[in-house]
Chain A
Amino acid sequence: MIRVRGLTHRYGAGEGALTVLCDVQMDVPDGGYAAVMGVSGAGKSTLLSILGGLEAVQQGTVCVGGEDLATLRGRQLARFRRARIGFVFQDFGLLTMLTARENVELALTLTGVPRGRRKEQADQLLGEVGLAARATHRPPKLSGGELQRVAIARALANRPAVLLADEPTGNLDEDSAIRVMELLERLRAERGCTLVVVTHNPELAARADERLRLSRGQLVRQ
């Protein structure tokens, strides 16, 4: 579950400070599916970063997966991310010197899964996203849609409570985008994850259970 109260976030200090989020409130139930929309620079990625523990909470309370992020710092945030969050990035975020399998294993490495089991689990995940045959291929040899599917497999590797996707279809063509979203939604439903998708695409946003819009630092339901 995600619960945000009075979240305010500024960049900079003093007179030149930029308030990106102003007293934001947000509720997404366990297993919920929310889409956050807004123009570029509205603060969508900032909100996602805070929800994912990539940025510290400056003001307000943010509870994600039962953890109050305002009380976490540094190493604790890293642990939180490992255990609770799965990220899917617009540019896929894969390490190009690793194979598809090794990219998925990377997430398992960080949580201390033994080497032997890592391969097994990675292969299983790749199978779930339909890329079992591409396990040994490196990113330069994969298409955009395949890359995002590997990223989804990686995001799900540690059975996160929350999946955060920042413009997951931003670099994909229409067909691939639909396939990726269908995959994401299916796997979310199968695993009972809470899914928050940041997008500027209204059609993508329409697929979510709840649509939120971020404008001038304020988050409103649509």
Chain B
Amino acid sequence: MTWSDAALLALRSLRRRGARSLLAGLGVALGTTLLVALLSISGGADSKIVSQLSHGGPAAAIHVAANQPDPSGFDTDTLKTGPPRDLGDAQLAEIQHSPYVASVVPVLAMPALVVPCPTYDEFAARPVPTCRQRTDEYFGTLIGADLSRFRDLPITLLAGRLPKAGSMTEVAVTQGYMERVNLDLNRFQDVMGSVIEFSTPQLLPGAGNAQPRFRGRWYLARVVGVVAQTVDDGEFLVPIQQTQAARQWALGGVDGRNFTRPTSPYSGLVVVADTLADVHAVRREIFDIGYANSAPEHLVASIQKYLHIVDIVLGGIGSVALAIAVLGVTNTLLAAIRERWREIGVLKALGAADEDVARWFLVEAGLLGIVGGVIGTAAGSAVTTVVGLLVQTYLKEQGLTGIDLGGLPVGIVVGAPVATAALAVVAGLVPALRAARLPVREALGG
């Protein structure tokens, strides 16, 4: 009996017990759906997270400080610094030329007196909730960076947008600022459009014996966005031109007991390595050049480990589901043997060899597997798509960057039905062998 003849026989057998075949096939389909969906969701999410991390993306960014390194700082994730050391374009270029460095973004943080909501707020399109309650001015930090390169910076945009590159009148704030002006941290719209007045300091020598005094350079900026950021400690993210102007202003004055002029052109750098594996080497390089730096290496390694565990668990769950389904195939076929004893006997009486009988059952198992596998893969793909859409919608509602899980990997689309069929054939081995070895006389019921 050829395989195609066995297939015809198998098809007829499956049709004869349509409901039972359908249930067995559905079981396989469900198990396949679960496994395919879990694998592709976890794989997709994994690969996005890991690819961001493994490309040395902002989550694994190396923070370089305008300080000499502290010898004990290399083996920890926290930044440990030595004495200050100027960090300028020459050093930036030197670091940029290191192997495995993908990008270097300079950062300049400057202190400023912050006046939340100066009294006249006629620039807002409508009275903003920010200004309903007066908040005292305080000293904060302006973090200046080239915001056109925000993809290389550990910044997450929670609402609105980033200040336009080079703008001298726009600012993005953190939820820390929202907390300070007594706003609900989840109501980003309450802070958007409000105006903040900043004054950056310059220390003037006192005339004669008079005390040195500060002179401020005042300007207004409008809040255009809310961010979460770990570029530096501070509540205000601005284009670097704003802090560079503040630096020039401070340099025009003198040093004081509690005020040092910012001689370093940059207060730090954000360095992105080519891959996650290169972070350690790049850190060492920067260390040797002579600058303190840090990166969440231990954290990232832990994340990767946990992701791996999650993958294993999800894969395990899906596999168990599929195994249960495939066992259903075994069960179905074992039941079929009992029903078909006489038919098996007749087939053997007609001259069918043991392997002919085995072929009949194996093909039946394989058909259940492949049909269940194809349906399950299609359903798994649909589930993945729906989950992906829901995740995207949720992330966007929360003001976060979406993750595109991507479509089903080709490997799964092709591999899942094939693997399921193979598994079902394996599951059908025991029934097939049993049927094949049935003594003819016994099968005929003589």
Q: Name A residues whose Cβ lies closer than 8 Å to a Cβ of B.
A: 45-46, 49, 52, 54-55, 74-75, 78-83, 85, 87, 89, 91, 93-98, 106-107, 109-111, 154, 158
Contact = CB atoms under 8 A, between A and B. Distances in A.
B351 A55 contact: no
Nearest to A93: B346
Contacts of B441: 49, 54-55
A107 B356 CA distance: 12
A81 B12 contact: no
Interface centre among B9, B345, B351, B446, by most chain A C-beta atoms within 10 angstroms, is: B351
B1 A110 contact: yes
A74 B1 contact: no
Contacts of A97: 12-13, 15-16
A191 B441 CA distance: 28
A74 B5 CA distance: 22
Contacts of B346: 87, 89, 93-95
Interface of B: 1-2, 5, 9, 12-13, 15-16, 342-343, 345-354, 356, 440-441, 444, 446
Contacts of B353: 75, 78-79
Contacts of A55: 440-441
Given A49-B446, A54-B444, A89-B346, A78 B352 contact: yes
Nearest to A92: B346
Contacts of B12: 95, 97-98
Interface centre among A49, A52, A95, by most chain B C-beta atoms within 10 angstroms, is: A95
A95 B1 contact: no
A82 B349 CA distance: 8
B276 to A, nearest CB: 59
B65 to A, nearest CB: 80
A96 B446 CA distance: 20
Contacts of B446: 45-46, 49, 54
Given A49-B446, A97-B13, A98-B12, A110 B440 contact: no
A82 B351 contact: yes
A158 B13 CA distance: 24
Contact of B349 (A46, A54, A74): A54
A52 B349 contact: yes
B21 to A, nearest CB: 12
A109 B1 contact: yes
A81 B348 CA distance: 8
A110 B351 contact: yes
